[in-house]
Amino acid sequence: MVGVVVWLTGLPGSGKTTIGRIVQEELRSRGYRVELLDGDWVRATINVEAGFTREERRKHLLRVAWIARLLARNEVIVLCSFVSPYRDVRAEVRRIVSEETPFSEVYVKCSLEEAMRRDPKGLYRKALRGEIKNFTGISDPYEEPENPDLVIDTEATSPEEAAETLKNHVLNLIKQR
């Protein structure tokens, strides 16, 4: 058994954490060690005061990259669910992790219109009212992945179907080793 870091990137509300949670539960029930790291967890634990400027997001994500690498080299499947909107920062993340463990970038794809319609935490509404600064999709850019290892379109599929696709991808990554 070898660990792997699967990095889910996509707009807020695209479904990253939702499908990550389903996969975590299914793989755990099959006996795998799995961790899901997401922004809510990180901001509640190792990065309490993190902001959302470009540089703060960058430092935040590089920290996560190191932690994911540390877990993965101890045979944990690490699902990282982060908007991670900047291409160059995602490339840095990949560099850090893949020095030691397998890394896979998954683009959880969803149109801005649909993500705004879902708005599970009410954050788009707040951002549109100007109550949140640097909000991806509204007042901060999302740079689409150019060569993701997998694209999961969450507009065309149900969360369960999307999770099935992700789960199979993870299992393939592990088998390849």
Could you give the residue numbers annotated as active site? 84
| β partners of residue 8 | 81, 106
Beta carbons of 131 and 52 less than 8 angstroms apart? no
Which part of the chain contacts its own copies (CB under 8 A), choosing from 42-50, 85-93, 147-155, 161-169?
Answer: 42-50
Q: Which of 21, 33, 87, 94 binds its own copies (CB under 8 A)?
A: 33
- In angstroms, give the least distance from the CB of 14 to its own copies: 25
Q: Which two tokens stand for residue 81?
A: 């669910």
CA gap 156, 149 in Å, rounded: 19
DSSP secondary structure, 9-70, as one string: E--TTSSHHHHHHHHHHHHHHTT--EEEEEHHHHHHTT-TT---SHHHHHHHHHHHHHHHHH
Return the residues of window 44-83 that contact its own copies according to CB under 8 A. 45-48, 59, 62-63, 66-67, 70-71, 74-76
In whole angstroms, the minimum distance from the beta carbon of 47 to its own copies comes to 8
- Whichever of 71 and 79 has its CB closer to its own copies, that residue is 71
Residue 77-116 contact track with its own copies, rule CB under 8 A, x = bound: ----------------------------------------
Angle at 167 between CA 78 and CA 20, to 5 degrees: 55
CB of 73 to its own copies, least distance (A): 9
